[in-house]
């Protein structure tokens, strides 16, 4: 399998034209999404369409996936068209700031957003835009989630630890409150590297869980990670 294509058990991702390739963050968000009660899902910044396709595999929901980068959008359209869920996923070439669907509100909003602000930039402007928050700030993302989420809906996002803790505090200004946190470590001895955060409009007691990806050696995965992703990865 070349880097231009990534094969899962029930779908394949072509990614030669997409600015953002298949990665662990997207797989984690797609596998952990609280999806059981959602009839309508919005994937903000779909890239290759990965999270939208994982959501389609796990649900019967109608899904809208938006992507501002034209080449990534075209690739997401291709990946969705080649899947068994093409009838349930609509890909739109838009940024979230200008996405105004009218009356529809979403039961679940998902995003694996660009979150770097001060790190070294890729010389490819498309790849840089996919990873840095110049074109999608946390405030813009939270405004969109608040505008588009249903009254009983949820907003879920994956972020690095430091950025995620700041995001939790910032979300309260938009009347969005953290309801659950999954704290993710690459190894048992590692610091927490990622947070999957869930937000609702209601203040509730925050539920916390931990997830460790590998047991100690490279590609020696924990049982919890295998169980989480075995419906997707060919290797499990």
Within the chain, residue ranges assigned H as helices are 24-32, 50-58, 70-81, 125-131, 138-148, 161-171, 223-229
- Confirm whether 40 is domain-assigned: yes
Q: Any residues with CB less than 8 A from the CB of 129 and at least 6 apart, and which?
A: 19, 69, 114, 135
Q: CB within 8 A of 125, min separation 6: which ones? A: none
> Could you tell me where the DSSP H helices lie in 85-133?
125-131
Residue 76 in any domain: the answer is yes
What is the number of domains present in the chain? 1
CATH code of the domain in which 222 resides: 3.40.50.150
- Name the DSSP letter for residue 174: G
Quick check: is 94 in a domain?
yes
Q: Which residue range is the domain that position 215 belongs to?
A: 20-116+129-229
pTM (predicted TM-score):
0.91
Per-residue model confidence (pLDDT) at position 124: 57
Quick one: pLDDT at residue 19? Answer: 85
Supply the pLDDT for residue 200: 98
Q: Would 1 be classed as within a structural domain?
A: no
Residue 118 is predicted with a pLDDT of 52
CA atoms within 13 A on the CB side of 194: 23
Burial of 102 (0-12, 13-18, 19+ CB in 10 A): exposed
CA torsion 229-230-234-235 (nearest 10°) is 90
pLDDT per residue of the chain (236 residues) written in tens, 0 to 9 = 447 899 999 999 999 998 888 999 999 999 999 998 899 999 999 999 999 999 999 999 999 999 999 999 999 999 999 999 999 999 999 999 999 887 779 999 999 998 645 544 445 554 444 444 457 999 999 999 999 999 999 999 999 999 999 999 999 999 999 999 999 999 999 999 999 999 999 999 999 999 999 998 788 999 999 999 999 999 99
SS3 state of residue 76 = helix
Flag whether 185 is in a domain: yes
172 within some domain: yes
Determine contact, residues 158/211, Cβ cutoff 8 Å.
no
The dihedral through the CA atoms of 25, 155, 77, 123 has a sign that is: negative
Asked if the structure places residue 11 within a domain, the reply is: no
pLDDT of residue 115: 66
Domain-embedded: residue 234: no
**Nearest 10 degrees: CA dihedral of 59, 61, 62, 67?**
-50
């Amino acid at each position: 399998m070349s880097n231009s294509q990534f094969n899962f058990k029930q779908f394949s991702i072509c990614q030669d034209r997409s600015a953002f390739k298949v990665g662990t963050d997207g797989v984690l968000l797609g596998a952990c999404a609280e999806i059981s009660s959602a009839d309508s899902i919005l994937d903000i910044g779909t890239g290759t369409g990965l999270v939208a396709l994982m959501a389609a595999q796990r649900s019967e929901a109608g899904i809208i996936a938006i992507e501002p980068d034209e080449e990534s959008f075209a690739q997401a359209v291709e990946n969705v068209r080649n899947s068994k869920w093409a009838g349930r996923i609509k890909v739109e070439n838009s940024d979230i700031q200008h996405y105004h669907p009218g009356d529809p509100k979403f039961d679940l909003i998902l995003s694996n957003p660009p979150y770097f602000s001060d790190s070294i930039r890729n010389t490819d402007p498309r790849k840089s835009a996919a990873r840095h928050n110049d074109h999608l700030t946390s405030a813009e993302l939270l405004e969109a989630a608040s505008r588009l989420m249903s009254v009983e809906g949820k907003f879920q996002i994956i972020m690095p630890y430091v950025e995620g803790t700041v995001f939790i505090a910032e979300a309260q200004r938009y009347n969005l409150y953290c309801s659950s946190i999954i704290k993710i470590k690459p190894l048992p001895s590692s610091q927490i590297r990622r947070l999957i955060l869930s937000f609702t409009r209601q203040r509730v007691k925050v539920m916390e869980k931990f997830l460790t990806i590998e047991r100690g050696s490279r590609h020696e995965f924990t049982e919890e990670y295998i169980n989480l992703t075995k419906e997707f990865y060919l290797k499990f």
